[in-house]
Structure 1
Amino acid sequence: MRITILAMGSRGDVQPAAVLGAELVHRGHDVVLATTDDLAHFGEAVGLPVVPFGFDMRAFLRSDQGQEFLRNSDVHEYLAGFVAMKTTHARVMHPAMVRACADADVIVSNTLLLDEASCLAEAGGAAVVALHHAPRRSNSRFPSFMLTRRRVPRPLNRATHALYARWEWKATASCTNAFRRSLGLPPTSVPLARRLAAVGALELQAYGAALVPELVSWSPRFPLTGPVVPTPEQRERWGEATWDADLEAWLGAGDPPVFFGFGSMPVADPAALFTLVQGVCRELGVRGLVGAGWTDLAAADATDRVRVVGPVDHTLLLPRCAAAVHHGGAGTTAASVGAGLPTVVCAVAFDQPFWGRRVQDLGIGTWFPFRELTAAKLIEALRRVLTGQTAERARTVGAALREEDGTQAAATEIELVPSPRRSSGSAARSPVQAGRRVPAPSASHEEP
């Protein structure tokens, strides 16, 4: 099959797409990855052809606009910021997506580009597959994490999903229909989730059943495939398979440290955060290992008690730690839980509060919003998870999560997807099917 994967977001969104693409290539498929310029190397290093979007997500998140986007806790402000981001960069991103999806039998997309993927699949006669890292579709067990961070009475869970879908469509409809016009498609009044349901689209739930056992029997259309985890060889290609001798000596010279990492979430004041971590470790009498991620910290900031590390293989490093503190991204949560670590989540945005609450509800850690982070609060949280039964439960859940092979399961599900384009054998009928000689979409796609 000819498969195009569209991925946008942080490292936790793009890295699994690259890993999945590499597995599909290994199975004999023709795969193209289209993603933001700053994360293209994840695909290139594992041998995937990459179509860059001409957009740097890391630079965006570090900008004033991006910081405001991350701070938005109001759903309407978030949706307005999301549409503004897409509209601003549509002129370069949309033509790249069209080129990448030319002649595709299947278009796989993570959540942020799923609406565009659905339109491209419709225009090109391809199948569309979603790759989700948290439960976004209506279910009776969890409310929409985009609408609320609180529990609601179970009978109301589905209502929260319906309400968010209504608000999301109100915010994005004009943008979607402008893109549809550029592809030669008629306008639609149908929200994305209903369009996907109408064509029976597969929506992969690329997170662990060990973390969300309530959804194991959700729907054949929403299979829980497990987290997509890089292989050691892929980590090596990304330069993350080893660390320097000094760090190795430090790890071996004392008790297992607490790992602190905020992944791809840029921190406004890295120096203040590092000072806070030092104070917390000193108060608790523990050592700390800070994963710099997209935060401006360097090894030069290290002390005897607290060290800084760049990109490394979490599957090798985290088992040598005592606990983990992080932002609660799906991938980082899977990594810390999979290592059997009690976990403290300091959630910034998006699905992170959901994963924080999951950690807490499973009895393997605790969580609070990043904006509430203080030394006292973090000390209290770490004392709670480093004692009692939390560590034992974390080891039990971690062992179950390690048994899941999300890469293999997701690739197998994709291979079973029937492509309308292949089954019909129809001739080219749209800009998407016209190969790489695609005229630029009309300017109408830039409308808000």
Structure 2
Amino acid sequence: MKIRILTVGTRGDVQPFVALGGRLVQCGHEVTICTAVNFKEFVESNGVSFSPVRVDFLELTQSEKGKKMMGGSPLEIFKNMKTLIFPMMERMLEDLWEASKDAEVLIYSPKAFGGYDIAEKLKIPVFLAHPIPIIAPTTLFTNPALPFSINNGFLNKISYKANSLIMASFFNIINKWRKETLGLKNKRTLFTNDLVIDGKLIPIIYGCSPTVIPFDNNWGSNVSMEGFWFLEDKEWEPPKELVRFLERGISPIAIGFSSMPLNNPLSVKRMFVEALERTGQRGIFISGWSGIKETEKNDNIFVIDSIPHSWLFPKTRGIIHHGGAGTTAAALQAGKPMLICPFSGDQPFWATQMKKIGVATFPLKENDMSVETFIDRIKELLNNKRLRDTAESIAIKINSEKGIEKTIKFIHEKIVMSNK
């Protein structure tokens, strides 16, 4: 079958779908992932077809306007909606439709605005999908997309209304596109239930583990959450100097913030270097887009732009990271204790949840970073036996799950049911 997967965002929004798409290809399906142009090589190198979407969230997050918006300022968000965000959304809608016209099955992330409308137009089997449980309302936890947590079941369920409120800003663009491009007469409003099409619930698939996030039995058979969608390991040849660094001393601590731009990366790096020195530890900095640049390498510090987490994390003593879903999953898979420094989006949710299940120290936000706070967290990371034992125990459970296989079985069953 021709399956189109629609997703936009950063690496963490794309990699799980590449893993799922690759396995669907192995099952005999014709799979195309529709996402930002900068992921073309990554998608195709994993055996999945690619269709470009003119949306580059990495570029946006690195721009001055993007950094101000990611700081959470309502004024900055409002100022840039018409000049920056709206044109980007219009291009995205055009590209997603162009890539999906011949689809027989549609899998889309909520961030790919237009997935719901395309499915409504084509009248084909459709699945809502995400690496974290932000779609189906539940009383068990607050919507992970929100930067706070509520200890109230009723309010937790209500918090999922935020998804519709976020969409409301784009209804004018979406409804114009629905009418002029898709030929759909009815408009989407705040009262539209975007979990239902033609009176039927849209099946939901989550790429995360019920070992670390509780499955709500009230979701019933409409939701699949069977385990993380890990990308199959490829052979990766590490630089010789990295191999020599690892051989020269004790296992290091991995430190990285992926696409999250630090406000003062030089200061943060200096704090890390001093904290590592004072605790007698070694560190590997994964610079990514954080702004932490190359530093003079020595026996205790190594800096690398990017590196497969599945290769590095098992070789470390612990992991300090931003709390992205993909990085968190990789740390869990490796069975390593972690310190999470959350910035935005679902990162506070992961930080709270990892502390709750006993695999992470208390979170540390950028404004609270100092040499002393890093020293305290590093000591706990390495000396708390309960953290280490819990991380290793959970890793055994996670590595025994067959998340992708069971998700694909769920997809096949729902497709059969929809065709009856």
TM-score under structure 1 length normalisation: 0.85
Say if 1:147 and 1:331 are closer, same or farther in 2 by CA, change over 3 A.
closer
Q: How far, CA to CA, are the matches of 2:344 and 2:146 in structure 1?
A: 12
SS in 2 for 1:213: coil
Aligned to 1:369: 365
Aligned to 2:232: 231
Counterpart contact for 1:38–1:57, Cα < 8 Å: no
Correspondence 1:66-215 to 2 at 5 A: 66-72=66-72, 86-113=85-112, 115-136=113-134, 137-162=136-161, 164-181=162-179, 182-186=181-185, 187-189=187-189, 190-191=191-192, 193-195=194-196, 198-215=199-216
1:286 aligns with 2:281: yes
Say if 1:231 and 1:89 are closer, same or farther in 2 by CA, change over 3 A.
same
Q: How far, CA to CA, are the matches of 1:95 and 1:6 in structure 2?
A: 12
How far the C-alpha of 1:174 sits from its partner, in A, is: 2.3
Counterpart contact for 1:169–1:192, Cα < 8 Å: no
- Which residue among 260, 270, 276 is the counterpart of 2:271? 276
Q: How far, CA to CA, are the matches of 2:330 and 2:317 in structure 1?
A: 14
Say if 1:355 and 1:56 are closer, same or farther in 2 by CA, change over 3 A.
same
SS in 2 for 1:15: helix
Per-residue CA distance 1:404-440 (angstroms, 9 max, x = gap): 23222222222223289x949xxxxxxxxxxxxxxxx
Q: How far, CA to CA, are the matches of 2:158 and 2:310 in structure 1?
A: 38
Say if 1:216 and 1:77 are closer, same or farther in 2 by CA, change over 3 A.
farther
Aligned to 1:402: 399
SS in 1 for 2:127: strand
Q: How far, CA to CA, are the matches of 2:102 and 2:198 in structure 1?
A: 23
Say if 1:167 and 1:287 are closer, same or farther in 2 by CA, change over 3 A.
same
Give the partner amino acid of 2:58: R
Q: How far, CA to CA, are the matches of 2:222 and 2:25 in structure 1?
A: 24
Q: How far, CA to CA, are the matches of 1:198 and 1:369 in structure 2?
A: 44
Q: Pick 1 or 2: higher relative contact order, CA cutoff 8 A, min separation 6.
A: 1
Please, which moves more after superposition, 178-187 or 214-223? 214-223
Per-residue CA distance 1:17-75 (angstroms, 9 max, x = gap): 1221111111111111111011121112123221111333221111122212321176x
How far the C-alpha of 1:275 sits from its partner, in A, is: 1.6
TM-score under structure 2 length normalisation: 0.90
User: What is the percentage of aligned positions where both structures have the same residue?
Assistant: 24
Q: How far, CA to CA, are the matches of 1:160 and 1:354 in structure 2?
A: 13
- Which residue among 388, 391, 414 is the counterpart of 2:411? 414
Q: How far, CA to CA, are the matches of 2:400 and 2:37 in structure 1?
A: 33
Correspondence 1:257-272 to 2 at 5 A: 257-272=252-267
Query: How many pairs does the alignment contain?
Result: 414
Per-residue CA distance 1:323-345 (angstroms, 9 max, x = gap): 10000011100111111111111
Please, which moves more after superposition, 15-24 or 65-74? 65-74
Task: Give the alignment's Cα RMSD to 1 decimal.
Answer: 2.6
Aligned to 2:353: 358
Aligned to 2:336: 341
Counterpart contact for 2:323–2:350, Cα < 8 Å: yes
Per-residue CA distance 1:330-389 (angstroms, 9 max, x = gap): 110011111111111101111111010111001111313334333322222222232221
SS in 1 for 2:394: helix
Aligned to 2:24: 24
Say if 1:122 and 1:83 are closer, same or farther in 2 by CA, change over 3 A.
farther
Give the partner amino acid of 2:370: T
Aligned to 1:63: 63
Please, which moves more after superposition, 204-213 or 304-313? 304-313
Aligned to 1:431: none
SS in 2 for 1:219: helix
Aligned to 1:446: none
SS in 1 for 2:51: strand
Aligned to 2:220: 219
Say if 1:13 and 1:333 are closer, same or farther in 2 by CA, change over 3 A.
same
SS in 2 for 1:341: coil
SS in 2 for 1:344: strand
Counterpart contact for 1:111–1:132, Cα < 8 Å: yes
Please, which moves more after superposition, 140-149 or 18-27? 140-149
How far the C-alpha of 1:128 sits from its partner, in A, is: 2.0
How far the C-alpha of 1:84 sits from its partner, in A, is: 7.0
Please, which moves more after superposition, 200-209 or 377-386? 377-386
Say if 1:397 and 1:125 are closer, same or farther in 2 by CA, change over 3 A.
same
Counterpart contact for 1:165–1:191, Cα < 8 Å: no
Q: How far, CA to CA, are the matches of 1:284 and 1:83 in structure 2?
A: 49
